[in-house]
Structures are given as C-alpha cells and as structure tokens.
A and B are shown apart, each in its own frame.
Chain A
C-alpha cells in the first residue's frame, strides 16, 4: 500500500500539534505513538472497554474508534491534561476512594467520569453506574469507582460554591 500522508493539526492538552500521518491512523495511536501520551491505553478492539477514552471538544470519545484525521482542528484532552496546577477532583476522588487497582482502565474511567460530571454535576448512584457503562474495569468491582465519582462531585460542588461566591459582584 503506497503511503499517502496527510497533515493533521489539533490542540492536545492545550498545545497545538501538527503531524504528517497515514489517514488510517487511529486517534489513540496518534496520541500514544506520535505524541508519546501513553496515559491513554488500548484495552480492546471493539470499543467496549473505554480505556482509551479522551475528551474531544469536551465530549468523551473512545479514541480507538476515531481516526486522527477526524480530530483535525479539534481540541483533545487526555489524562495527562486533566490536572491543572492541582489534581482534578476526579483524580482526587479516585485516589481517596481506591477507585483503581491495576490502573490500566483508570485513565479512561477518569475521563469518562470527568465528562459525566461536566454534564451532570450531581448524579445519583444509578446515574453514575449508567454513566460508566462504557468502561470495563476488571479489578475494582466498580463500587469504589462509584464512590470516587461521588467524592469528585462533592469536591467540585464545594469548588463551584466557593468560586460562585467569589464571582458575585
């Protein structure tokens, strides 16, 4: 197969990147192989496990099911970009509540959780379990992940209450 290269440009974790790649390259391989962002993992090949979940223009997607060229011009956030100067509340939640064991599904689980909370800041337990349906974790039994997301939600609402108070003119 002749190699036809195409140039993709996107913003990944706040940095603008451009690479010449084969059009068939998956976003997850682009992140891992081209950019060295190995925090995003490949756990399956049928879009079931969610280990590769990243945010694409703010929406959770499975990076194994997106071509890198489809992300052209888009903004991508991976686990490496989830934290700012401090850990993201979801990271704090997973750490505090033992939401991980082997850690392999964890980046995808945390990106999924971050998206869930961005859409629904106060999810019920049932909504959290439903929201994690695209995540397969073989270690934890999920309950500690649920607690982690609840913990993150509580931290985020504290933060937003505080910042809300500060924002009042």
Chain B
C-alpha cells in the first residue's frame, strides 16, 4: 500500500469538472420549472410609495408578481447570526422584499415569476415602482457624525454596535520613546466568485417537503436560517449544494433572493429557479473589508514594539449580513498584534450601517484587515527609527520557544517557528545583495522596492465553546460518517461543504491512508442536508482542519470495530491484532491475517460476530477542536515602479508558509496561489467605489479590476512544517493565508520603491494614476 497522505494526487472532482459534467445550481432543470426575476431599487435610500404590478401581470408567460406587501406577513425577517458580546448590537432585520423603505441599490421590492427567463425579465421591466428618494450615507466615519441620514430609524448615528477589547493604553503611549500614528483605508472589495449565486426550490406536495438547491458554503446553516424565515420545520426542509463555483465568503450568508424563490415555490407549487446576473452579483451579493482604521504604535528607539491600538470604523452596509458583525471584531481585533510579541494592545470598533451593499466575510475576513494594519505599521515604524524592516521583525517576532504563545487578548497561538520561515525567505531572496542592487539602480533613476510580511492568522474555526463566548450563533464542530459498504467500498459523509478546495480528494487521502484501501474506493459526500445529519460548512479555513479531524476520528471508530471482528475471526484477543495497510494480522504471526474487505463482509453478514458487537460497519464522529489553528509565514514582494507612468511591475513574489502537516501539496500550493492573487488584487487593482448618492460606480467587470493572468510572475513558494499540536492530523488551515499575507507585502514593496520620493503611504488599490500623482507632488523631495 503506497503512502497517499502527503502525495500530490490528481483531484477526484476534476473528472466531472473538466468534462463539462459539473452540476452547479443553474445547470439544473426540473419538470414544470419557472423563473424568478427580481425588481430592484435604483435608489440607495428611498421610501416606497407604490408598486404597480398590473402591466407586468399581463405580460406573456407571467404566473405571478409578488411585492413586499405580499410577503411581509408570510416571511420572517433575515437575521444576522453573529452577536459579539458587550457590543450593544442592534439588529437590522432584513425583509426579503422591501415594503416600506429601500436601503441600498439593488434592495428587492418585487419578484416576477414567469415560464421563461426572458419573459420574467421582460415583465420585471414593466413593474412600476414609485419612490420618494431620501438622502443616503455611504462612508463609515461620516455615517456616525451628527446630522447624517439615518439608515434605520432605531439605530442612532448608524452605529449598529460598538465593540472594544483591551485596556486603556494612554499611559503606555504617553511614556513611549516613539509613537507612530497612521490612518489606513481598507477599501471595499467585491468577492466575485465566478459562479453567480442561484437558488432552485421545489415543493413536494406529497411529503410537504421543500428542497432548495442553492449556491452555499454551508447548507446546514442555510437550512437553519431558511427554516426560521420560511416557517418550515428543519425536518421538512432540504438544502443541497452539489457544485458551487467559488465563494470566498460571499456564499455564507442567507440572502433575500433565496428566501423569495423558496417561498414562491411553495406558494405556486412549481419549481422556481432564480439566478443572478453578474451585475446583480456586484449589487447585492455581500462585499468585503471597508474599514477606516486610526492606528497607533508605540515602541523604543531601538526597535522594540510596546503597544498597538486601533480605532476602526467598519462599514457593514445597509443590513447586518449573516456573519458580518464577527468579521471586524473577533476575527480582526483579537489579532492586531500579528506575529509579534507585543505586550499591550487594544481595539475599538464601530460597526456602522450605511446605504450600501451589505458587507460580510471575504477571504480572510478580518484577518487581512489586521495583518495589513500591523505589517504596514511595522514598516512605518522601521522607517521612522531608521532600522531595516527585517531587523524590526526579527526583534519582535514571537520566539520559537515561546509556543504556545498567549497574545495580549488571550488567544493562544498553537505552534510556530516564525524565524524559520523568515530565514528561508531571506535566503531565497538573497536580501543583502538585492538591497545593494536597489541602491545601484536608484542612482540610475530606476526604482525597485522590497516588501515584507511576516504574518500569522487564526483559522480552522474553531472551538464551539469559543464560538459561544464570542457570540457566533452556532457551533463550530464538524461531523463525519465513514460508512463501509459490504463490498468494502466507502462513502464518507462530511458536514463541511467544499466548493473548489479539493476535499473530495484530500478527505479520500485521509481515509485511504488510514484504512489502507485505494482512494478510488472512497466517495466523499457533501453539500446535502438530507444525506448529512449536521455540519457547519466551509469557511474560515476550517474544512481540512475541523472536517478532516472529524473524518479521522470516524475512521478510527471503524478500525476499532473492525479490529474486534478481525480478532474474533482470527481467534485471538483484540490486543494481539495489528492493522496495517488494510490487513489485520496477529502480532508476531504475520501470515495469520485477514483483509479489511473480508472483515467488512463479516460485519454485514453478521453470521458470527463477537459478543456485544452490532452488525454493519460505520463510524460517526463529531469533532470539536480545542483551539484555532495558527498558520504563519514570511512573504516578500519585489516590485519596480516606473516614475514616469506610475506603473508597478511585480518582479518576484516569494511565499514561505507553514500550514502544519500537508495532505496534498498540489492542492495546498493551489490554495496559496489563489489567495495571493486575491491579496495582490486588493493591493494593486481592486476597489469598490460609491458616489455620494450610494450608486455603485464599479458595478461590472468592466469597472472593477479582477486580476488577469498577465499581471503576475511565477510565484516562488516554499514551506516549513510545524504541526498543530492539538489537531488530530496536525494540519492547519491554508485557504486564506495568501490573501492575508500578500496585500501588505505588495504595499510595503511599493512604498519601499517610492522611498526616495518621500512617499510613506498611499491608499489601495495602488493604481498607476495614484502613484504618478504622488510622485508629481513629491518630486521636490527627491
């Protein structure tokens, strides 16, 4: 039996995906299926005066037109599911169809159901809505000022919550030798998973069951929320996500359109499909980031960081989306010290509602905002005290012998060797030589820059006890059932819900290795609440760390039971049985053996089982991790900046990551690459812009720059392995590391290149125009 854990096996899921046989929600067709099209507000803030559906109702193929008046008494409001404690959070319940006020462009006011998608679109154009436009507010820090428009009448100054953590640090800052103050704008990003969201709902008259196929990262959370909103008990509601075309956080939330399609399917007793356009995706699918951060760092003149604190205004959009309040608080504030041993830290966060698209998790979710803050501040501090940024990092990184390390907020970083990854990155770069080259090039009027990011992040969400303590309205354990069929083939049921991360392969590698059977004999089943009892889904880099942990434990239960049966068959005591490579043998008598398959058949035939052993062979486990996992690493970017055009060229990118044990290195590298491109996208290309009326100016792929292949060099990746001590597989998360680490590395590199011009910081994305303007303004300083 060859080793399969740690091997770069080709992916099992690709067999269907490369042949056009994937089944994404919009690919499905059901008998009698009809189509929903939403009528959406063109205003960011307005009162609805009237909705006239008469003309639309008369259009060809139209079955029904429903407005907010039709749904408001039949549907519950869409809630948020994260309520950070001690933050005085005000709920902003979201009606699936607005009936009195619209609060962002795209807020749905009516739905048309018709026989074909084109008929539904034609009729939606004929719905006449009269609005009374109201003043809008879009900027998070402006929104809390007196006299600004109020998004929700009951939320004074638009402050949905105020969350603080850490002690008063005024004394520390007053006594510090060096204080660096800076304001960062974490711009708003639009996740842009390539598959637009969709929902297809079908009501079964015979069983009174509603089935909803939906683009979700977490079918069971969707079932839970839809159950409450629709008033359908969970045992009569099935949520299915077969293939999902990327999520990056944007398919965690429960959205109005999914609710409306489900409700209409039950109402009309017809299968109803709704699919968003890309334009709608920009308008209504959750956005990410969007902070204003006022940051202060205190340190000594010789490079010892003593304190970090932030006051942040986090823009949450018009309504608090499913996980939204947890992102700028728990997932951000608690880790602003980054990978550094900083004794004092505090965070003060205003969660602000505005007349913009709701903001929720986006790849990294809070941790990129924290990492950018600390990694940029380290560079600004290094510049101020005229130390090399690497020297400052070396001086402050948590030492390898300090693990488990408790950070100023009580997080326990599980394991690490931060100096180890930094050392490898320094060697790969040949840092001293590159600094010499940089100095020589500057004399020739050529500007290159080197930017570092030595990051750590918390992921593998996360113990349920902690989820409860931080106000997440759910558990964060994961379930697995490993079902061995009589022939020895295996179905594995997981509550995680991979949608591109490759766990149909990774999970099969775990089970194949442990049972000693070919991975081809193992099927990973996910994304269906009717087949999987319960689970919490895929986000927060938790799938392999938590879902994989559950699978390992369930597999061990199978082996434990099979061992009893094998002992009985071999007529020895259980303690004398050794299981290796799919064979049970008697210790010391290797030729007395029986295969896993033979034992499986015995388990099902049950003709002769040991006393107290039940027939059949399967194991179920619910794994609740003891802690988060803390992947870390050192990233470095090398850029050149053309001072005549402001154009930035990414010359090299080195990523040295430690994500614990690696099950499939090919998949791990792919996850890192994907994260890098999203993080670099934030630094250089991407940014959502609204005008003062709340109109999204970057509302299509023409206006919002999702990175392309030609923007990048080959990435140089390497890794160290520091297993997580508390995870049964020793793994950590990997899905978000690239997006967390890369953004500050790029900006640090560009600022390093611009150092001769006296430029310290520019707001992201660093477009050529911004860079060129800054150079023009600072030419005198050269």
Contacts and interface: CB of A to CB of B under 8 A. Distances in A.
Contacts of A78: 20
Given A48-B702, A136-B706, A140-B674, A95 B712 contact: no
B689 to A, nearest CB: 17
A142 B118 CA distance: 34
A79 interface: yes
Contact of A95 (B14, B23, B669, B670): B14
B192 interface: yes
B743 to A, nearest CB: 14
Contacts of B248: 138
A100 B17 contact: yes
Interface string A91-110: 10011101011111111001
Interface in A7-60: 22, 24-25, 29, 32-33, 36-46, 48-49, 51
B244 interface: yes
Give chain B's interface secondary structure class.
loop
Contacts of B678: 138
A103 to B, nearest CB: 3
A144 B714 CA distance: 10
A49 B278 CA distance: 10
A39 B122 contact: no
A136 B674 contact: no
Given A104-B194, A137-B194, A79 B708 contact: no
Contacts of A38: 20, 23-24, 26-27
Contact of B118 (A22, A45, A96): A22
B20 A107 contact: yes
Nearest to A39: B20
A102 B670 CA distance: 11
Nearest to B193: A138
A104 B24 contact: yes
Contacts of B677: 140-142
Contacts of A41: 24, 194-195, 245
Contacts of B670: 98, 101, 139-141, 144
Given A38-B27, A104-B246, A139 B19 contact: no
Most buried by A among B245, B246, B502, B678: B245
Contact of B11 (A95, A126, A135, A139): A95
A129 interface: yes
Contact of B246 (A46, A101, A135, A143): A101
Contacts of A29: 117
B700 A42 contact: no
A41 B244 CA distance: 12
A93 B748 CA distance: 36
Interface string B485-500: 0000000000000011
B18 A95 contact: yes
Given A48-B701, A104-B195, A79 B19 contact: yes
Give chain A's interface secondary structure class.
loop
A132 B191 CA distance: 21
A140 B14 contact: no
A166 to B, nearest CB: 28
Interface in B660-676: 666-667, 669-670, 673-676
B501 interface: yes
B254 to A, nearest CB: 21
A83 interface: yes
A45 B678 CA distance: 22
Interface in B669-691: 669-670, 673-678
A80 interface: yes
A49 B194 contact: yes
B18 A102 contact: no
Contacts of A94: 14, 18
B709 A132 contact: yes
Contacts, number: 179
A32 B501 CA distance: 26
Contact of B195 (A3, A43, A91, A143): A43
A87 interface: yes
A141 B194 contact: no
Given A95-B14, A104-B195, A136-B194, A43 B278 contact: yes
B31 to A, nearest CB: 14
Given A3-B60, A103-B245, A140 B13 contact: no
A36 B243 CA distance: 17
Interface in B203-252: 243-246, 248
A74 to B, nearest CB: 19
B443 interface: no
A133 B710 contact: yes
Nearest to B248: A138
B694 interface: no
Most buried by B among A1, A44, A107, A140: A44
Nearest to A105: B194
Nearest to A147: B714
Contact of B22 (A103, A140, A144): A103
Contacts of B24: 38, 41, 104
A29 B118 CA distance: 10
Contacts of A133: 708-710
Given A24-B118, A100-B14, A103-B13, A138 B192 contact: yes
B148 interface: no
Nearest to A102: B500
B60 A102 contact: no
A69 interface: no
Contacts of A135: 708-709
Nearest to B363: A138
A139 B21 contact: no
Contact of B500 (A33, A48, A107, A139): A139
Most buried by B among A48, A132, A138: A138
A143 B717 CA distance: 12
Given A41-B195, A103-B17, A132-B708, 19 more contacts: A3-B60, A38-B26, A39-B21, A45-B700, A46-B700, A48-B702, A98-B11, A102-B245, A103-B22, A104-B245, A106-B18, A129-B712, A138-B193, A139-B246, A139-B670, A140-B670, A140-B677, A141-B738, A143-B715
- Smallest CB-CB A-B distances: 10 pairs: A39-B20, A104-B245, A102-B500, A103-B17, A141-B673, A79-B20, A48-B701, A38-B27, A44-B278, A101-B500
10 contacts: A41-B195, A45-B700, A48-B700, A98-B669, A102-B194, A103-B17, A104-B193, A138-B192, A138-B674, A141-B715
